[in-house]
C-alpha cells in the first residue's frame, strides 16, 4: 500500500460520520473590500443565535481577524503542524466565546505542506466538526493557488464585492479561474454574492446583476444574491476601535444588515440545502493533489 492510498484511507475514516458543522468560505478576489469585517460580524450574529462558531483564518501571514477581535492568539496553525500543539490549544477565544484559528506567519500555504503534514493537519482539523456548528473560512485576497484551493473545496462560497470597477473585475477574475479549473464542481457549489458598502438596495442588486450576467454569458454559470451591507459610519468607527460593529453598535444599519444575512445563511433561503461537507472533506482535496 503506497503512501497516497494510506492518506485516502485516513480521509475516508474521518468522513464516515455525517459532518456536523456548516462551512462558509468568504472570498473577494481583491483586498480592501471588507472581507474580514464580514467574517467576524457574521460570526457574532450566528453565535448570538446559539450556534457555536469557529473562524479559520486562512489568510496566511496576516492577522486581520485577530485585529478585528482585538485579541492576540497565543498559538496558531504553525504551532499545530510543527510544534505539537492540539487543535483545542490553537483555538483563541474571541468575543462571545467565538473561536478563531490564526494561520500565522509560519505557514506559507496548505499546498506547501508535505503529505505527512497534510495527514496530520486533516486528522486534527476533523475535530472541528465536533467543536463547532459553523466554520467560517477567511481566505486571502487575490486569486493565488492557495485561495483557489479553499474556494474550490468549499460547498458554500460567500463572494464579497463593491461597486468599484476594480472590485467587480477582480471578483470576475476569481470566478473565471474557478470555473476554468478542472477540479471545480459547479453542481456541488453555491456561490452567494454579498454587496458591500452600498448606498441603496438598488446598488446592491446592481452589483449582483452585473456579476451574474457575465458569469452566465461567459462561464455558463450562475450566482445567488445573499444581500447587501450599507455604507455606515458606525461600522467605520467600530473598525477603528477594533471591535465588530454588531457588538459595539447593534442597532446600526450595517448591524441589521448582518442580522438579515445571517438569517438567510442559517435558514438556507437562497437555495435548497444540499448535503453538507465537513472540514475533513474540505481539506481532503489537498491530500489528493499531492499524488
Q: What is the reported pLDDT for 62?
A: 63
User: Cα separation of 120 and 122, whole Å?
Assistant: 6
- 113 contacts 121 by C-beta, under 8 angstroms: yes
Strands (E), 20-163: 22-27, 53-57, 91-93, 99-102, 134-138, 156-161
User: Cα separation of 94 and 71, whole Å?
Assistant: 7
Q: What is the reported pLDDT for 273?
A: 34
Per-residue pLDDT of the chain (291 residues; tens, 9 = 90+): 444 344 445 555 555 555 678 999 999 987 888 898 999 999 999 999 999 999 988 776 566 788 888 778 889 888 888 888 999 999 999 999 999 998 766 555 566 677 777 777 777 877 888 899 999 988 877 777 778 877 887 889 999 999 999 999 999 999 999 998 888 888 889 999 999 999 999 999 999 999 999 999 999 999 999 999 999 999 999 988 989 999 999 999 999 999 999 999 998 775 333 455 667 666 666 665 655
Amino acid at each position: 500500500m503506497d503512501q497516497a492510498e494510506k492518506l485516502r484511507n485516513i480521509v475516508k475514516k474521518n468522513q464516515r460520520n455525517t459532518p456536523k458543522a456548516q462551512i462558509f468560505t468568504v472570498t473577494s478576489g481583491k483586498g480592501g473590500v471588507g472581507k474580514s469585517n464580514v467574517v467576524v460580524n457574521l460570526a457574532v450574529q450566528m453565535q448570538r443565535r446559539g450556534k457555536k462558531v469557529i473562524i479559520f483564518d486562512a489568510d496566511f501571514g496576516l492577522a486581520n481577524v485577530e485585529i478585528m477581535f482585538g485579541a492576540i492568539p497565543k498559538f496558531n496553525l504553525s504551532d499545530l503542524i510543527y510544534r505539537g500543539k492540539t487543535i483545542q490549544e490553537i483555538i483563541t477565544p474571541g468575543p462571545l466565546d467565538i473561536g478563531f484559528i490564526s494561520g500565522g506567519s509560519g505557514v506559507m500555504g496548505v499546498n506547501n505542506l508535505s503529505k505527512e503534514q497534510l495527514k496530520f493537519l486533516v486528522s486534527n482539523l476533523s475535530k472541528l466538526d465536533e467543536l463547532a456548528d459553523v466554520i467560517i473560512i477567511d481566505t486571502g485576497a487575490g486569486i493565488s493557488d492557495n485561495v483557489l484551493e479553499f474556494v474550490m473545496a468549499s460547498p458554500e462560497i460567500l463572494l464579497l464585492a463593491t461597486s468599484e470597477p476594480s472590485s467587480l473585475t477582480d471578483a470576475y477574475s476569481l470566478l473565471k479561474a474557478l470555473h476554468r479549473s478542472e477540479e471545480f464542481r459547479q453542481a456541488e457549489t453555491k456561490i452567494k454574492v454579498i454587496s458591500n458598502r452600498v448606498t441603496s438596495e438598488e446598488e446592491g442588486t446592481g452589483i449582483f446583476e452585473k456579476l451574474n450576467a457575465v458569469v452566465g454569458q461567459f462561464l455558463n454559470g450562475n450566482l445567488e444574491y445573499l444581500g447587501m451591507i450599507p455604507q455606515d459610519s458606525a461600522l467605520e468607527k467600530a473598525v477603528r476601535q477594533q471591535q465588530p460593529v454588531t457588538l459595539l453598535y447593534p442597532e446600526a444599519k450595517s448591524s441589521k444588515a448582518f442580522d438579515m444575512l445571517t438569517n438567510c445563511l442559517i435558514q438556507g433561503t437562497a437555495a435548497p440545502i444540499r448535503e453538507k461537507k465537513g472540514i475533513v472533506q474540505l481539506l481532503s482535496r489537498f491530500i489528493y493533489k499531492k499524488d
